[in-house]
Structure 1
């Protein structure tokens, strides 16, 4: 039997890109997947496509920037499934246009943090009672190597070229949020980790990179960690990524 069989998973921002690939991978592994999206038409279309392939996928409306939307999603999960085994916080935005940090628009930082950080925290808080109701909940926060201070600091750092102030710093904040929740939940069966999917061909990367399914594999692996798995870290294809 698959490790995902019988589990209920929510993936936010899952109507396309890495989120969609993650939803599909979890469903193919045997999970019941709640495909979260703020755009109802896009979400229903994506869920219907996976369901037509025989996968147990259901569209769940959720806008992570809207507290009422988050609460409604949590209420529906509680009513229809009674618990949540896996939460993949994937929803994110990157509205920047390649300007240096000195020219970054503070309003774009606020907009980015509203989804990438505040929305992630609000969603996690709302879903936590449902994760506690599961035997061993798993929370995976989608991050990036661009959030690593070690990998972006200094002239010779591998990702020093990236000057996306709002996006990169918001994901660094996601890493810190991951640690905070992991520490709070250390004495529970719940594990909280961040995933570095690498550069994948999505709208955020303008279609550059590897197939989203390869990046999704990182998140899926963390979602299906066993009892002896790690918590409170950032992980990619080759293992732990430095903060």
Structure 2
């Protein structure tokens, strides 16, 4: 009887584990910062349309996840012969929103306050993050964008898949969903990479990001 009850309990827990898990996106290849590609004289400049550009994020913990957006504060993309060659973006870390908790609920404000506090992104000390393109190449049929991401007091080069298109007056850049390991940018709160006594109170290091940028000819 005990073995039967144990089997039922085990299968129940396994079912919850399988149905509750969400496959995370692939982590962006992360290396040391590289030399930034500078715009050439013949490059055509496109300025980021802030109303049509944003970054979607999702963070994970054992009991679930939270998601929201971050705004791009300014930015530009440069093309030569219709091909993206360089670009840079300033990211407004104070613009972090939470979408999975209703805006009028107390929990929304608490989470936003926590994310912007020194525990996480410390926006008073580090109000902006930056992304500067270092390369774009086709790998196994996918366009892979590389750039230096400066967040808090760290800078690393990340590479992730994107699609790039243009209609003459606008350039559209959209990434596939990818993850970054926040510990590589010294975002330490609840991270097993820095603390070994968290038990099940940890927060995953992986943060999923999806970048969507529209830029208009300057």
Q: Between Structure 1 and Structure 2, whose CA radius of gyration is higher?
A: 2
What TM-score do you get using the length of structure 2 for normalisation?
Answer: 0.27
Richer in strand (by share): 2
Which structure has more relative contact order (CA 8 Å, sep 6+)? It is 2
Richer in helix (by share): 1
